[in-house]
Structure 1
C-alpha cells in the first residue's frame, strides 16, 4: 500500500451559510424546527431569507467545516463537493482553497444554484438550520477523482449528503474505492432525521464493516439504535465499529476503539454564542489526533477544545488559532 498523499479527504455538501440572530418568537412564527436541521426548497429558502435580520455569509457545509479545522491543525486535506457556476459557488471555492484545502470538483452549469443554509441563532446560542442543498445534491459518481480518494488515509463522509440519491451513489462508490486502497472510512451521522430516513443503510454499512470511525451525538445514537439509554445504545454499537465517537453536548464526549474506552468533559466556555459547527469542529479536533495515532483520550480532548472555540463566536469555522489553543490546553 502506497503512503497517502492526504490525511483526510472529505465528501460533503458545498454550502454557503447565512447566519442571523433572532428571538424565540421568530422561531415560533416561522414554524421552524428549533435546534434542528430542516431541508427546504428554493422558494422556502427565499422566504426565510426575507424574514432574516442582518446576516453574515460564510462558506459552510458540515464536512467542509471539519476540513477547515483540520487544515488549521496542520492536516493535509482535500474536499469533494458540488457547486454551481454562480457567485455563491465562486465564494465557496475561494474560501475552501484559501483555507489550504485542495478542491477541484468541476462547477455545475445551470440550475439549481449553489446550496445555502439559513441559520437562525436564538439568545441561548442554539442554532436552527434550514438548508437548501441546491447543486450539492447533484454530485455524480462521475465527478469523483478515484485516484484522489485512494490517496487519502481517511475518507470522511457527511451524513447530510446521504439523503439525495445521486451523491448517495457517489459516496457508496467512494467507500468501495477507499476500502480497496486499504484506507479508513469515517462517517458522521449529521442529524437524526437522516438516520430516520436511511437508518437501514447506515446499519448495513456498520454491520458489514464498511465504517472504521463513526461520529454520532446523543440523539443520533438513540435514533440509530432505538435505545433511549445512552450507555446501552453505546454498548450496542461500539463492538461493531473499530472506533465509535459520541458527543453529548455539555456532558462531554465518549469514544471506544477496539474495546478501549475514554471520555472527556466538555471544555468550559465563558459564553455560548452560536453552536453552529460544534460537531464539525469536534470531529476536526478528534481526527487531527487520530491521524497522528494519538491516545484516544487526547483525541477527545482535541475535539472538545476545537468545539469550545467555535461555539464562542458566530460561524461554523475556527477564528482563533486552533493549533496554538490546543497546544496551550493539552
Structure 2
C-alpha cells in the first residue's frame, strides 16, 4: 500500500450557501421545521423562498466541503469531489474551495439544473433552518469520480446528504470500493435524521458489511439510526458495528467509542451561539485532522470541539480565524 498523498478525500454536495437572519415567526409561517433541513425540488420554489429572505451572506458550503475546508485551515491535505453546473455559482464554489487549499477537479456539468444552493435562516438563538435545492449536485455520476484521487487519500469521507439521489449514491458505492481496494479507511457522516428516515436500512447495512471505519452522528441521528431513544443502548449498538463511533451532543460535548473504550470531552466554552450552521462539519474537521496528525482520541475530540465552537461564534460555516493558531493555543 502506497503512502497516502492526502489525509482525507471527501465526496459531497457542492453547494453555495445563502445565510440570513430571521425570527421564529417567519419559520413557522413558512411551515419549516426549525433546526432541520428540508429539500426543495424545483428552482421555482428556491427562487420564491429566496425572494423572501432578508439581507444575507453567500458562501460556498455543503457538509463534506465544509469539513475538508476546515481541515485544510488546520493544515491537513484534502481533496473534494462534488458536482457543480457550468454557471456562475459553480465558478464561485470551485474558486472558494480551491482557495482554501483543497484539491478540486470535478468537471462542471453543462445544462440544467443549476449549481446547488442552500437557503439558511438563522434565528436569534443561533439555530439554523436549511432549505436546499440540490440542483447539479444530485447528478454526480460514478464516471466523474477521480479514482486516483480517492485511492491517494488515507480516509474517504462521505456525507449522508448525498446518499439521497440515486446517481451520486451509486458513485459513493463505487468510491467505497476504490478506497477499500487501495487499503484506505472510509468515514461516513449521517448528516440528518431525514437521511436516516429514507436510507437507514442502507446505512445499517454498510455498517454490518464492515464498510465503515469511522461513523459520525449527533444524538438525534444515533437514536434514529439504531431505532431507540436510549442513548447508551444506541451508542452500544452502533459501536459494536464500526471501529470508531463519534457522537456529538451539543452543549454536552462529544464522545468517541473505539475498541470497547469510550472517551468523552466537554463542549468548548463560548460567549454566545450566533449560528450553528456547520457545527457538525467542523467538529468532524477537527477530529479527522487530529487523527491524521497522530493525536489521541481525546485530543482529536477536543480539537473537534474547538473547531465547532469557532464556527458557531459567527455566521457562516467556514472558519474566520487562524485555525492553526487557535488549535495551538487551546491544545498546547
TM-score range for the pair, normalised by the shorter chain length: over 0.9
Matched, 1:61 2:35: no
TM-score (norm 1): 0.99
In structure 1, the residue matched to 2:32 is 32
In structure 1, the residue matched to 2:248 is 247
Aligned pairs for 1:159-308 (under 5 A) are 159-308=160-309
In structure 2, the residue matched to 1:23 is 23
TM-score (norm 2): 0.99
| Unpaired runs of at least 5, structure 2 | none
CA deviations 1:32-68 (Å, max 9, x no partner) are 1110000112222111101100011000000000011
Q: CA deviation at 1:260?
A: 2.0
State the alpha-carbon separation in 2 of the partners of residues 147 and 323 from structure 1. Answer: 29
State the alpha-carbon separation in 2 of the partners of residues 306 and 45 from structure 1. Answer: 30
State the alpha-carbon separation in 2 of the partners of residues 17 and 37 from structure 1. Answer: 13
CA deviations 1:74-114 (Å, max 9, x no partner) are 10001000000000000000000000001000000000000
Q: CA deviation at 1:232?
A: 1.2
State the alpha-carbon separation in 2 of the partners of residues 267 and 106 from structure 1. Answer: 39
State the alpha-carbon separation in 2 of the partners of residues 55 and 108 from structure 1. Answer: 27
Q: CA deviation at 1:231?
A: 1.1
Q: CA deviation at 1:225?
A: 0.5
- Deviating above 3 A after TM superposition, structure 1's stretches of 4 or more consecutive aligned residues are none
State the alpha-carbon separation in 2 of the partners of residues 40 and 234 from structure 1. Answer: 32
Aligned pairs for 1:115-126 (under 5 A) are 115-126=116-127
Q: CA deviation at 1:21?
A: 0.2
Is the partner of 2:240 in helix, strand or coil?
helix
Q: CA deviation at 1:293?
A: 2.5
Is the partner of 1:240 in helix, strand or coil?
coil
Alpha-carbon RMSD across the aligned residues, in angstroms, is 0.6
Q: CA deviation at 1:326?
A: 1.2
Q: CA deviation at 1:292?
A: 2.1
| Unpaired runs of at least 5, structure 1 | none
**Larger deviation: 287-296 or 129-138?**
287-296
Is the partner of 2:295 in helix, strand or coil?
coil
Aligned residues: 330
